């Protein structure tokens, strides 16, 4: 399981941090879990956050880029792509992953990567942070984004 050994990241000191969550609309049940996990972290940390829904995973990078340029300190990108019988899965996963990486590097704003790329719906549900799930990738993505923003904040402060 990919979450084995994952450390909890500190979000202490994030009170008032502006964070945008960008979430795809496909696979509503999985997405509700991912969004709830991210929301829990952001509320616990005292962040000021907004949710933006996009049609699918392919649209995550362009909206995440707009959010990053708007002055937020972090972005959390959430989505799920489930493998089908065509190469579409590979193209969407690669485009979304590469695009989100570019957003972070081009803007200097951390992007919490909460894009599930699964072979089937059972794998997605197991990572969605729902009752019975073994992992909560929404929570992990939000923690990573906030913790990285806090680190970047400390590096920029003389």
CA–CA separation, 144 and 74 (whole Å): 10
- pLDDT computed for residue 30 by the predictor: 94
Q: What is the pTM of this model?
A: 0.93
Angle of CA points 17, 22, 26, to nearest 5°: 155
The answer to whether 52 is a known catalytic residue is: no
Contacting residues for 115 by C-beta, under 8 A, at least 6 apart: 57, 60, 77, 78, 79, 80, 81, 93, 96, 97, 100
Rounded Cα gap, residues 21 and 23, in angstroms: 6
Task: Give average pLDDT by consecutive 10-residue segment, the chain, 158 residues.
Answer: 63 90 94 97 97 97 98 98 86 95 97 96 94 96 97 88
For residue 3, the model assigns a pLDDT of: 56
Encoding tokens for residue 52? 């933006």
Catalytic: which of 43, 50, 69, 88?
88
Domains in the chain (CATH in brackets) are: 18-156 (3.40.50.960)
């Amino acid at each position: 399981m990919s979450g084995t050994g994952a450390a909890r990241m500190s979000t202490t000191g994030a009170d008032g941090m502006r964070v945008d969550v960008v979430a795809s609309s496909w696979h509503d049940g999985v997405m509700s879990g991912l969004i709830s996990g991210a929301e829990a972290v952001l509320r616990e940390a005292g962040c000021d956050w907004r949710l933006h829904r996009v049609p699918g995973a392919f649209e995550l990078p362009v909206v995440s880029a707009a959010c990053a340029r708007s002055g937020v300190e972090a972005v959390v990108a959430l989505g799920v792509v489930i493998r089908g019988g065509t190469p579409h899965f590979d193209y969407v996963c690669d485009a979304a992953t590469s695009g989100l990486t570019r957003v972070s590097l081009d803007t200097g704003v951390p992007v919490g990567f909460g894009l599930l790329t699964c072979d089937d719906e059972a794998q997605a549900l197991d990572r969605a942070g729902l009752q019975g799930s073994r992992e909560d990738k929404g929570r992990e993505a939000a923690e990573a984004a906030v913790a990285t923003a806090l680190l970047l904040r400390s590096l920029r402060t003389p």
